Amino acid sequence: MTARLLAGIADGAGLREHERRYGPVPGRRPRRLIDIVEAAGLTGRGGAGFPAGRKMRSVAARPGRKAVVANGAEGEPASRKDRLLLSRLPHLVLDGITLAAAAVGADEAYLCVHGTESALLRRLDHAVAERQAAGLDPVPIQITGIPARYVSSEQSSIVQYLNGGPGKPTFSPPRPHERGVNGKPTLVHNVETLAHLAMIARHGDRWFRATGLPSAPGSMLVTVSGAVTRPGVYEIAMGTTAGEVIMRAGGPAERLQALLVGGYFGAWLPVETAWPVPMTHAGLKAAGGALGAGIVIAFPAAACPIAETARVVRYLAEESAMQCGPCRFGLPALADALASLAFSGDWGPCADDVAALIPLVERRGACRHPDGAAQLGRSLFTAFPADVHWHRWQGACDGVRRPPLLPLPGDEEREWDWG
């Protein structure tokens, strides 16, 4: 398919280049835009895949003024798509915010990114100033830095932070669409979702559906990394197979044993299982995985998935908000058990302990943070039964000597505060 969102990626990030490439934003009656988004079948591109139009309709239907939050705080270490959009095509996202604000009846609009990314914050402030000078955004868009913590980009965390609290998840109800920023019903959309919305407003629902599958229309951004020759962000038609995605990224750089799809909220899939799977929420779910925010990591045969998972779960444990007991105590215990299994082999009943800990953390937090770690851990057993068996009885494999492959932020890049 030809690029849609990324069509103007080489043009420069200014407002003039943006309008020349994508055309001006058409004026549409607010309710009509929600109808078109629903007819287009756009789903959220932040990971959960909820129908975007339905979310907008439920916010719009509530009484009073609303708020709109664009979530550009890309917490997944292996995802780069939101940063790419915001740094190279900021006006597409800003168009989407203004359209969404008009559609739901908002009088406040925020674009949230990690507060540590000062260069990006400056660029976005500049883009907003360009638009202000052109009189484009009736509701001013406030660029806001939020804590660069994994769970701070969860929607209830963002709402709590914007309301003056810490950037940590809250217990629901109320959910943001009921009571969010300043008590207003709040629409929280991922920035890629809003960029698609800006395209749908220009070209309509039938244009959107002309690519992708009838059940999963449109295009999506994917971030491909690991053992591929050209890692990076690609725009694909929804339903493209995972194998085709790897080939778009230049193909395997060495022999692969698995794909990790969906990032650290996703699941390991053996490469032969994953290769023909369509990149849709339903397709990956049926294969035992998750699409998440479109992250694909090609994992080489010579690396150890247990050692890599142990590192990631350790990171997730450190990123816990430490609010809920099962997450606070369960994730470090899971990380310890995985590390024992990876590096010490049959020193203890650690494989059994990993299996026992997973149900003890899953669905027991206020947010879904522990569920992601649990799903990743569980998929080790289904994707790599031979590796688990080897580690249980023989000890560490040769793969544990390889340098870490799954991307994690270095300690110096990480934020330890909550705002």
Partner 1 sequence: MRVTLRVNPIACTGHGMCAELLPEIIELDRWGYPVLVSPAVPRPLLEHARRAAQACPTLALLIEEKAGKHR
Q: How far is the CB of 175 from partner 1 (least distance, A)?
A: 15
- Please report whether residue 171 would count as binding partner 1 according to CB under 8 A: yes
Q: Which is nearer to partner 1, 169 or 294 (CB)?
A: 169
- Please report whether residue 366 would count as binding partner 1 according to CB under 8 A: yes
Token pair in block for residue 304: 């150890």
- Please report whether residue 179 would count as binding partner 1 according to CB under 8 A: no
Q: Which is nearer to partner 1, 96 or 180 (CB)?
A: 180
Q: Which is nearer to partner 1, 182 or 323 (CB)?
A: 323
- Please report whether residue 365 would count as binding partner 1 according to CB under 8 A: yes
Q: Which is nearer to partner 1, 114 or 368 (CB)?
A: 368
Q: Which is nearer to partner 1, 170 or 379 (CB)?
A: 170
- Please report whether residue 364 would count as binding partner 1 according to CB under 8 A: yes
- Please report whether residue 329 would count as binding partner 1 according to CB under 8 A: yes
In eight-state DSSP terms, residue 241 is: B
- Please report whether residue 349 would count as binding partner 1 according to CB under 8 A: no
- Please report whether residue 372 would count as binding partner 1 according to CB under 8 A: no
CA 367 to chain centre: 15
Q: Which is nearer to partner 1, 108 or 362 (CB)?
A: 362
- Please report whether residue 176 would count as binding partner 1 according to CB under 8 A: no
Separation between Cα atoms, residue 232 and residue 188, nearest integer Å: 26
Pick one of 253, 323, 371, 392: the residue that binds partner 1 (CB under 8 A).
Answer: 323
Phi-psi region of 202 (alpha: psi -120 to 50; beta: other; left: phi over 0): alpha
- Please report whether residue 93 would count as binding partner 1 according to CB under 8 A: no
Q: How far is the CB of 49 from partner 1 (least distance, A)?
A: 25
Pick one of 139, 360, 396, 408: the residue that binds partner 1 (CB under 8 A).
Answer: 360
Contacts 24+ apart (CB under 8 A), 179-182: 180/67, 180/69, 181/67, 181/69, 181/108, 181/110, 182/67, 182/108
Q: How far is the CB of 365 from partner 1 (least distance, A)?
A: 6
Pick one of 326, 349, 395, 409: the residue that binds partner 1 (CB under 8 A).
Answer: 326
Separation between Cα atoms, residue 139 and residue 218, nearest integer Å: 28
The answer to whether residues 223 and 232 touch, using CB atoms and an 8 Å cutoff, is yes
> First CA to last CA across the chain, in angstroms?
42
- Please report whether residue 377 would count as binding partner 1 according to CB under 8 A: no
The helix/strand/coil state of 171 is: coil
- Please report whether residue 44 would count as binding partner 1 according to CB under 8 A: no
Nearest CA-CA partner of 200 in 360, 36, 331: 36
Q: Which is nearer to partner 1, 166 or 243 (CB)?
A: 166
User: Which residues partner with 252 through β-bridges?
Assistant: 228
The answer to whether residues 367 and 168 touch, using CB atoms and an 8 Å cutoff, is no
Helix axes 325-343, 369-383, angle to 10 degrees: 30
- Please report whether residue 347 would count as binding partner 1 according to CB under 8 A: no
- Please report whether residue 355 would count as binding partner 1 according to CB under 8 A: no
Separation between Cα atoms, residue 61 and residue 246, nearest integer Å: 42
Q: How many CB atoms lie within 10 A of CB 346?
A: 14
Token pair in block for residue 236: 């694909």
DSSP letters along 333-385, please? HHHHHHHHHHHT-TTSSHHHHHHHHHHHHTT-SSSSHHHHHHHHHHHHHHH-H
User: Stretches 58-66, 164-172, 274-282, 397-405: which one binds partner 1 (CB under 8 A)?
Assistant: 164-172
Number of residues that bind partner 1 (CB under 8 A): 14
- Please report whether residue 396 would count as binding partner 1 according to CB under 8 A: no
Q: Which is nearer to partner 1, 57 or 364 (CB)?
A: 364
- Please report whether residue 14 would count as binding partner 1 according to CB under 8 A: no
Pick one of 26, 325, 348, 404: the residue that binds partner 1 (CB under 8 A).
Answer: 325
Q: How far is the CB of 129 from partner 1 (least distance, A)?
A: 39
Nearest CA-CA partner of 92 in 207, 220, 5: 5
Separation between Cα atoms, residue 84 and residue 231, nearest integer Å: 14
Site for partner 1, rule CB under 8 A:
169-171, 323-327, 329-330, 360, 364-366
